[in-house]
Amino acid sequence: MEENQILTQRAVLVGLYQGLKDEFDIRESMNELAELTLAAGAEVADIIIQNKASIEAATFIGAGKVEEVKMAIQDTESNIVIFNDELSGAQIRNLENLLETTVIDRTALILDIFAVRAQTKIAKLQVELAQLRYRASRLTGLGASLSRTGGGIGTRGPGEQKLEIDRRRINERIDEIRKQIKESEKNRTVQRKLRKKMEVPVVALVGYTNAGKSSILNYFINHSIEGEPDKQVFEKDMLFATLDTFARRIVLEDKKEFILTDTVGFVSKLPHSIIDAFKATLEEALGADILLHVVDASNDSYKMQMEVTKQVLNELHAGDKEMITVFNKMDLVPDKVIGDLEESVHISAKTGENIALLVEKIKTHLFSHMKKVIFVIPYTDGKAASYICETYKVDKIDHLEMGTYIETEVSEADYNKYKHYLKIEE
Ligand SMILES: Nc1nc2c(ncn2[C@@H]2O[C@H](COP(=O)(O)OP(=O)(O)OP(=O)(O)O)[C@@H](O)[C@H]2O)c(=O)[nH]1
Ligand SMILES: [Mg+2]
């Protein structure tokens, strides 16, 4: 029953822009809204755009446009209207009364996709948190919508406690989820500390949804010399295929290793509630030593997508992190002159083109400061010897008369700190 209802959902999309200069932007934005609608499992029946200098307080679009939308609903036998901008609770209620059908906004649509895609416990909690926040801020107007049941966009959620709960219960649930998220964060922090201690550097893939982040991670997993090919991550040609941060250990041919993490993709007008709810996991990923900003070079809107990614990174205070821009899907771009940034590389996760170059760049960033050393540490400084052994990958260790002999590679800071123990060449 429910499946059927989802399949037969037909949507009229409505967008508003102000002034001529935004005309191109609104088309880009509406195309994306159409893709999001498809990703949520509904069909797009019609797209209606209004150019209007000011927003109508009660109905967002003007009265004439409301009539036009109503006609479109009837003509196309649609049963949902999706607005490209965030609506207030009152606007949704007014529009639902006038249009006599379900009205949702872009935020609710994105939240809905997230609700369906969330797999792990933490992702489910984060999505529920975002949904509850969205609902809490619209309680006054959302009377009809809140009691909607029966499946379809706008009614799906990870928990069963999503409908007909009043503000107090919503707040209670928000507190409860926050606690649970914090609890699982504690475990992650322990893991992160462990990693830091092992000095395995971390590289994070970030970027617009569908850019190819998971495909790049899978390519690295396949080519890691201590491979765990069964640990491939999910990649698919759809928006928001990845909702969880996955981390995989990658070992390069020269035995240098790093952790590569995949993250949730970004999209324009990514709801604040989502950024907020995913902040904890995103911030963890963004604590990486370097970010790979993955761009779908074959997408006409790639410049806008790069801008959006940068904005979201700024919002997460990761805007000035070390970053390599990775133009991906170059196999689909016929003339290969695209965004020539200084720290950029043009690859294809599909053909493997230029991945070797990307690896070189990653290595330069992660390991160029490392120094090959031979220490002989006297037994009186056992602390230093055990620190070196715990922190770095030791190539050779021996117990000589004068002390512990260690061959390894250390950071510049530790090189300076322990240089008095360097083995003196004879
Ligand atoms: N032709 C081509 N397709 C690619 C390339 N890299 C990825 N794709 C395809 O692009 C689609 C999206 O790839 P994903 O790796 O899932 O993208 P993502 O960035 O992880 O997307 P989200 O998880 O949704 O944020 C898939 O269908 C991939 O097969 C590439 O280099 N060339
Ligand atoms: Mg992905």
Q: What is the DSSP string of 321-376?
A: S-EEEEEE-GGG-SS------TTEEE--TTT-TTHHHHHHHHHHHHHTT-EEEEEE
110, with CB counted inside 10 A (0-12, 13-18, 19+), is buried
Give the distance (Å) from ligand 2 centre to CA of residue 293.
13
Cβ contacts of 412 within 8 Å, gap of 6 or more: 369, 370, 371
Give the distance (Å) from ligand 1 centre to CA of residue 213.
7
Q: Bridge-partner residues for 104, per DSSP? A: 82
Mutate to test the pocket of ligand 1, among 38, 222, 233, 235 (most ligand atoms within 8 A of CB): 235
Mutate to test the pocket of ligand 1, among 214, 245, 281 (most ligand atoms within 8 A of CB): 214
Q: Quick one: which atom of ligand 1 is closest to the CA of 207? A: 19
Give the distance (Å) from ligand 2 centre to CA of residue 199.
26
Q: Bridge-partner residues for 12, per DSSP? A: 46, 81
Ligand nearest to the CA of residue 326, numbered in listed order: 1
In tens digits, the chain (426 residues) has pLDDT values of: 344 444 579 999 999 998 766 666 888 899 999 999 999 989 999 999 999 889 999 999 999 999 999 999 999 999 999 999 999 989 999 999 999 999 999 999 999 988 888 877 888 888 898 888 888 877 654 444 444 444 566 655 544 444 455 677 888 888 999 898 888 777 766 666 655 556 688 899 999 999 999 999 999 998 887 766 567 777 777 777 777 777 888 888 777 889 899 988 888 888 888 888 777 778 777 888 899 999 999 998 899 899 999 999 998 888 888 899 999 999 998 776 666 666 789 999 999 999 999 999 999 888 877 889 999 999 999 999 998 888 777 889 999 999 999 999 888 778 889 999 998 765
Give the distance (Å) from ligand 1 centre to CA of residue 412.
37
CB-CB neighbours of 339 under 10 Å: 13
Output the CATH code of domain 199-367. Answer: 3.40.50.300
Give the distance (Å) from ligand 2 centre to CA of residue 208.
10
Give the distance (Å) from ligand 1 centre to CA of residue 211.
5
Output the CATH code of domain 2-146. Answer: 3.40.50.11060
Ligand nearest to the CA of residue 208, numbered in listed order: 1
Question: What pLDDT is attached to residue 229?
Answer: 59
Give the distance (Å) from ligand 1 centre to CA of residue 350.
9
Ligand nearest to the CA of residue 265, numbered in listed order: 1
Torsion angles phi and psi, residue 266, rounded to 5: -100, 165
Express the helix, strand and coil content of the chain in percent, nearest 5 each.
Answer: 45, 20, 35
From residue 205, give the alpha-carbon distance in Å to each of 13, 99, 274. Answer: 32, 43, 19
Ligand 1, atom 8, lies closest to the CA of: 212
Report the complex ipTM: 0.98
Residues of the chain with CATH 3.40.50.300: 199-367
Which residues lie near ion ligand 2 (Cβ < 5 Å)?
A: 214, 241-242
Name every protein residue with a CB atom under 6 angstroms from any ligand 1 atom: 209-215, 235-237, 239-242, 265, 328-329, 331-332, 348-350
The pTM score is 0.78
C-alpha–C-alpha distance, residues 36 and 113, integer Å:
8
Question: What pLDDT is attached to residue 91?
Answer: 94
Among 241, 206, 235, which Cα is nearest to 325's? 206
C-alpha–C-alpha distance, residues 72 and 75, integer Å:
5
Among 235, 247, 266, which Cα is nearest to 114's? 266
Q: By three-state DSSP, how is residue 99 classified?
A: helix
Residues of the chain with CATH 3.40.50.11060: 2-146
